[in-house]
Structure 1
Amino acid sequence: MSTPFYVSPQQAMADRAEYARKGIARGRSVVVLTYADGIVFVAENTSRALHKVSEIYDRIAFAAVGRYNEFENLRIGGVRYADLRGYSYDRADVNARGLANVYAQTLGTIFSSTGEKPYEVELIVAEVGKGPEDNQIYRLTPDGSVVDEHGSVAVGGSSESISHFLEQRHQEGMSLSEALKLAVDGLARDPNGGPARTLTPDQLEVAVLDRNRFQQRKFKRLLGAQLSRLLAGDESAATEDEGDKPAPEADTED
């Protein structure tokens, strides 16, 4: 009779963590930064249909790297959780901390299960507060660990070198244009010390949680000409918002 193959629990967990880490490292990074009026999300993503950054609720957004089908399932679950909680109680009761805890439980359960592989995803859940000191940013790893981040955070392929770059240069109270350019510079860096790449607006997915929007929903995507102007340093482009423009007057001529 052959001896059953034995793997210690510690080794099994280490192998699962390494498996998930390698899957995440193959993806392009996502950067999240605070700025004077909110939180900006910047991802290297040429697709206009498959988003890495999405809205969850009024003041909450979600960013992810890794396997799209896995983090898309998590995003949908987060939207359902937020909608149900907001409907059952109050919209103010939906916050990033509660959503991060739900994701942590889901990821932790999957990671510990021997019947399925761990999710190859890394998540960021962020909520813009009424003031800069009230912002919340949480990073979640495949094993369900939650890290409370402040100021800046990067996830994905070159996250360690990008995070170090951002920590040295990010400052509180930066304008949107300054924060956006810093995020793009971080994404364009070569982790091996080579020359930086040039990232164009068409290669970027950018969104903000802007606390100054008069709408209840603070999430807004930055696209096209507005994004190009912000990357060029035009601060006036930050205030443009299609939803803020008044509806055209009806034509009263006969």
Structure 2
Amino acid sequence: MAMQFYASPEQVQRDRSEYARKGIARGRSAVVLTYEGGILLVAENLTSLRKISELYDRIGFAAVGRYNEFESLRRAGVRMADLNGLAYDRRDVTGRALANAYTQTLGAIFSETQKPYEVEICVAQVGADPAADELYRITYDGSVMDEPGFMAMGGSAEAISTVLKERHDVTADLATALAVAIKGLGSVGGENGSTRELGAAQLEVAVLDRRRRGRTFRRVSGAALESLLKGGKDQPEPERGDATAPAPADDKPTISAASVDKEGHEEDKK
């Protein structure tokens, strides 16, 4: 009869933690920070797969690690937010509630399954002013931390956080905040410890714009991102509700063909 190897619960937890940390460290980092106009989310991303997304009206999501795992968490968060918003009120959907749900999910996966999730996520909620902004970091084991205005995720998070701590300013405009985020991301990963220059093609950028009504999430890409990288001003696209509806065409029918009384026409013919 073969005997099973014994491992103490402490050793099992240490092995799972090491496994998850190594998996997260292999990916590229992401930065989330507050600025005068809202919350900025920046990720180093060379693929078309999204690391930054919208969860609800004023709530954003950023993640690093294994894509299929944090994508399943994102979809679950969107479903939870939609259900709560429909069942109660849209104002009842908060970043704190979603962060608590992610904490319970990741904590259960870490403790009860053979393989932990190799992810680290951020739930960000923009407020009416910078003091009301909320940033929650949730790690692979279900731990949650309320971050003070900025945070970095990924294998080089500590080095990036050092740069952010020195340069972060809640009163800065979007161009300045983006320069700080890129400075932090570029401070690691170079040859022999040198810094890197990151361009628009290497970045995924989005903001939670506190000036917008309803859905505050918007992506910054293309010419708008290029302009910001050169120090230009933010030029957001107009909100969908502000767009003027096109006028109806002159020859557009106003009566449906299905509304014609066919029986009446047959009687007239008789």
TM-score range, shorter chain: over 0.9
What letter matches 1:217 in structure 2? R
Q: Which has the larger radius of gyration?
A: 2
Give the match's secondary structure for 2:6: coil
Question: Deviation of residue 250 (structure 1)?
Answer: 4.7
Structure 2 residue aligned with 1:52: 51
Distance 1:120 1:14 in 2: 14
Structure 2 residue aligned with 1:246: 243
Give the match's secondary structure for 1:234: coil
* Mapping of residues 126-205 of structure 1, within 5 Å: 126-190=124-188, 194-205=193-204
Structure 2 residue aligned with 1:116: 114
Structure 2 residue aligned with 1:218: 216
Stretch deviating more after TM superposition (193-202 or 223-232):
193-202
Give the match's secondary structure for 2:188: coil
Distance 2:125 2:235 in 1: 20
Stretch deviating more after TM superposition (226-235 or 187-196):
187-196
- Residues 161-198 of structure 1, C-alpha deviations (whole Å, 9 max, x = no match): 00111111112211110000110111111367632111
The TM-score with structure 2 as length reference comes to 0.87
Structure 2 residue aligned with 1:64: 63
Give the match's secondary structure for 1:166: helix
Answer whether contact 1:39 1:209 (CA < 8 A) is retained: yes
Distance 1:56 1:21 in 2: 25
Answer whether contact 1:125 1:137 (CA < 8 A) is retained: yes
Answer whether contact 1:161 1:191 (CA < 8 A) is retained: no
Identity of aligned residues (%): 55
In structure 2, list runs of 5 or more residues that go unmatched. Answer: 252-270
Distance 2:199 2:250 in 1: 45
Distance 1:46 1:3 in 2: 48
Distance 2:28 2:114 in 1: 25
Q: Is residue 85 of structure 2 the alignment partner of residue 89 of structure 1?
A: no
Distance 1:76 1:241 in 2: 26
The TM-score with structure 1 as length reference comes to 0.92
Structure 2 residue aligned with 1:19: 19
Answer whether contact 2:163 2:183 (CA < 8 A) is retained: no
